[in-house]
A and B are shown apart, each in its own frame.
Chain A
Amino acid sequence: MFEYWGVSEPAVLLADAAPAAPSVRDLQERIRQMQTTKLETRSLQTSPALAPLLPGGALKAGSAYSVEGSNALVMALMAGPSAAGAWCGVVGLPDFGAEAASRSGVDLERLVFVPHPGDQWLTVVSAIIDVVTVVVTVAPPRLGDALAARLAARIRQREATLIVLGGWPQSDATLRITESTWGGIGEGHGHLASRQVTVNAVGKGFMGQKRSARLWLPDASEQVRAVEPAAVPGAVPAAVVAPVRVPRGWGAGRVFADAQELAG
């Protein structure tokens, strides 16, 4: 429950400037934008719940993201662009749940599957990148850095977005579910109904910081949304950043609130 507060993390630069953190972060963002060597890339429409977890607040055309161990998170990422009319491709994932994808907002008419690319993985992914906006895939076991770099160049050129399930050397952000709690199911009764997760995001796009957010994935009405911080008096916004010192006893209140939300 507490690991995402990152108390044990080595204090980063902003650790002691917690109250002023947002403004400092804004300034840093501006400096980064002014110093950036490449042109500003196009943003794709992104589900608002996931925006705090992505560098720049949205999926970027020409970038790669990696998601570890959660198809549901991948679907939540795809839902935004798909709803905006983008085509999505899923390569090398024979177990990708189409119904869940459809229910999380991905348009099945604009979703293509290549479940078994076999040893033609690179060719297939390159061909799909040429025509499709969001490509979801899993990296083959032995993928050299050179190949990854070639693929990254291709993504940039075609303005596609790559979402890799598992590790990827060039990813802008890596999203991982660190904690997940299911509601609606008990010891032999009920059924899976809703889930609250804590998603951690790390990556080069965050300037060495770590972000995390609590999400409903999905909530009882199958929507992906942020867990409202209003439920917890005095809580920091969901896009919690950095190691802030948490007053004692505060965490207990949070846990209590969680329990209430789940029960509700």
Chain B
Amino acid sequence: MTLIENTAVRHSQATRTMVLWCPDWPVRALAQFEGIPVEERIALVEHGVVFACSASARAEGVRRGQRIREAQAACVDLMAFDYDPALDYRSFEPVALAVEELMPGVQLLRPGMCALAARGPARYYGGERAAAGVLLTALVGLGVEDARITVADGRFAAEQLARMPGETGIRIVEAGGSPQFLADHPIEAVGDSNLSMLLRRLGLTTLGSFAALDFRDVRARFGETGVYAHTLASGRDVRRVVPRLPPQLRDIEVAFEPPLDRVDQITFAFRTAAERFVDELTSALLVCTSIRVELHTDNGLVHDRGWGHPRWFSANDVLDRIRWQVQGRTGAGAGALTSAISRVRVLPEGLDSIGNYETGLWGSTPDDRIHHGLSRVQSLLGHGAVMTAVIAGGRGVVERQVMIPWGDPRGGAGDEHPWPGSIPLPAPSTVFEKPRAVTVQGHDGGPVDVTDRGSLTCVPALFAVSDAGAGVGRVAGAGGMGGGAAHGGGAGGGLAAVERQQPIAAWAGPWPVYERWWDQAVARSFHRFQVVDASGTAWLLALHEHGWWAEARYD
């Protein structure tokens, strides 16, 4: 709002505006998403400070803008979650749609709050109170019981009215009553913290006292921001309601009757829908770069997950994602599908102009070819079967290599930080997916162990890989990475199933590892050794609770 506009419309009347506010919407959205009751003590955290909290948490002393440590100190059983704006918008969309059904011209101020021009609905429903009543009934029908609907001259007054304490659902300030209504509000309501602090120090503690100043003096002293705050404070908020364009829905949904429980049936039934989905996008000159797939099961559960694509989704890619998601949920374990699927919904999350993805004049780039080939393998074996590697930070050899499925963002991984205590270079060329059991013996054939004081009981002299089959146990959590299927080919590369015992030519160690001692569940403590056997192959061994394991091999 520029100065010129302000002066031009200075004397014009603020329009009657209706504001709808659902308090604590982020908390409600999250509680619904996580499946926890909204009465729990919940806080949403953004950048280390509380962004929003539930009413019960507020009763315990949690405040917006508080540091998370202080909030946890105030309320011991606080459940803290990361704030996700996308979730807010997504969950508020049904509410906005329901309001649009009843009254057109909704402006979404933020998730949980929207504004409407009050004149039309008031005339149609026979009065402002009646219109607000209709809206409130509709919201209760959507499960939002504590919504507040306010009508006042101008959006600012209506918002302030909604934020007034109290339980009343419908609040109305009669036409022309806004300046009086606002007069008693504290000066901080103008929203500009620098300005309000200055005004308070000048002795203007309420909006009324600020509004009483002459408009020209305010402009001379505070400039444009001051004039804007002055119009708000004097109840002449001339901002109009700018109705949003109702979004064009591009999501696609197929219901199965009877519900289906086989992957091929589901993908087959979805095929035409997926083609329609992509065709509609193409005709709108759009491509979809990420989607969200929702699987609704017969017993009312919803499994949803987002899928990215390095290029853009074709119909087959969409079907692949649905298939992988269903396959990933089959079998036992947490999050498994417990009943047949009654409905599949695909929502486009990332849309982009098709022009950015046009094939070049001289054909596609070589990387396209690679992507097509690898996607074929992925559709054959599953999303996680084709991977690229990124070197991450860490001390052990296993945690340093992070495998990322093809198509997922590789992230800005890079390991510039020093890792004191990591295994010295060169890196081992074979890193066992699952650690292999080995035996290490002294000259007399006795076991080699490390005492509590960190010294060896005897010099390691003989070494044998006792079992080529992968280690059953875990080397203190080091082997938990893959969990992949047992594969016949293996990495042995000519290694016999059971190897002969051979003398140790050289060795180094023990190098004690004592990690994450502060957390009982993931704490681990063991000793590492490097051993060179008689054939000149070197091994990285770990001694964990009297058992020897090979973590890696330098072959």
Contacts and interface: CB of A to CB of B under 8 A. Distances in A.
24 contacts: A72-B555, A93-B491, A94-B484, A94-B491, A95-B432, A97-B427, A100-B427, A102-B391, A109-B388, A111-B389, A113-B387, A113-B388, A116-B484, A117-B381, A120-B381, A121-B489, A132-B370, A167-B494, A180-B537, A185-B532, A188-B459, A190-B508, A191-B530, A222-B426
Nearest to A108: B389
Given A97-B401, A140-B488, A113 B389 contact: yes
Nearest to B402: A98
Contacts of B428: 97, 100
Contact of B536 (A108, A117, A181): A181
A147 to B, nearest CB: 14
A235 interface: no
B389 A69 contact: no
Contacts of A116: 381, 385, 484-485, 487
Interface stretch (B163-171, B284-292, B371-379): B371-379
- Most A C-beta atoms less than 10 A away, residue of B406, B489, B495, B532: B489
A67 B431 CA distance: 18
A138 B373 contact: no
B507 A185 contact: yes
B388 A115 contact: no
Nearest to A138: B489
Given A182-B506, A192-B532, A112 B387 contact: yes
Nearest to B424: A191
Q: Closest 9 A-B residue pairs measured CB to CB?
A: A180-B536, A131-B373, A95-B491, A98-B389, A71-B429, A98-B401, A100-B427, A165-B493, A72-B429
Contacts of A182: 505-506, 532, 536, 538, 554
Interface of B: 369-370, 372-374, 376-377, 380-381, 385-391, 397, 400-401, 403, 406, 410, 424-433, 456, 459, 482, 484-485, 487-491, 493-495, 505-509, 530, 532, 535-538, 552, 554-555
A81 interface: no
A188 B508 contact: yes
A92 to B, nearest CB: 4
Contacts of B432: 95
A179 interface: yes
Given A68-B493, A108-B391, A118-B485, A131 B374 contact: yes
Contacts of A130: 373
A185 B509 CA distance: 10
A96 B430 CA distance: 5
Nearest to B529: A188
Nearest to A137: B489
A209 B535 CA distance: 25
B508 A69 contact: no
Contacts of A98: 389, 391, 401, 403, 431
A124 interface: yes
Contact of B387 (A68, A115, A118): A115
B373 A192 contact: no
A204 interface: no
B430 A95 contact: yes
A186 interface: yes
A202 to B, nearest CB: 15
Contact of B493 (A71, A108, A140, A189): A71
B495 to A, nearest CB: 7
A100 B400 CA distance: 11
Contacts of A165: 491, 493-494
B346 to A, nearest CB: 26
A195 interface: yes
A17 interface: no
A154 to B, nearest CB: 13
Contacts of B491: 71, 93-96, 138, 165
Interface string A168-186: 0000000001011110011
A70 interface: yes
B403 A113 contact: yes
A128 B389 contact: no
B433 A95 contact: yes
B397 A99 contact: yes
A188 B487 contact: no
A151 interface: no
B370 A131 contact: yes
B372 A131 contact: yes
- Most A C-beta atoms less than 10 A away, residue of B401, B535, B537: B401
Contacts of B372: 131
Contacts of B390: 108
A99 B406 contact: no
Nearest to B382: A116
Contacts of A186: 506, 508
B426 A127 contact: no
Given A141-B489, A192-B554, A197-B536, 17 more contacts: A67-B493, A68-B493, A94-B491, A96-B491, A97-B397, A97-B552, A114-B381, A114-B386, A115-B385, A115-B433, A116-B381, A116-B484, A117-B489, A166-B494, A180-B535, A191-B424, A195-B554
A136 to B, nearest CB: 11
A185 B504 CA distance: 12
A75 interface: yes
A103 B488 contact: no
A243 B206 CA distance: 103
Contact of B424 (A181, A188, A193): A193
A101 B427 CA distance: 9
Interface string A55-67: 0000000000001
A75 to B, nearest CB: 6
A92 B387 contact: no
A92 B489 contact: yes
Contacts of B509: 188
A65 to B, nearest CB: 14
B54 to A, nearest CB: 44
A109 B409 CA distance: 12
B467 to A, nearest CB: 15
A75 B429 contact: yes
B9 to A, nearest CB: 57
A218 interface: yes
Interface string A5-20: 0000000000000000
B429 A112 contact: no
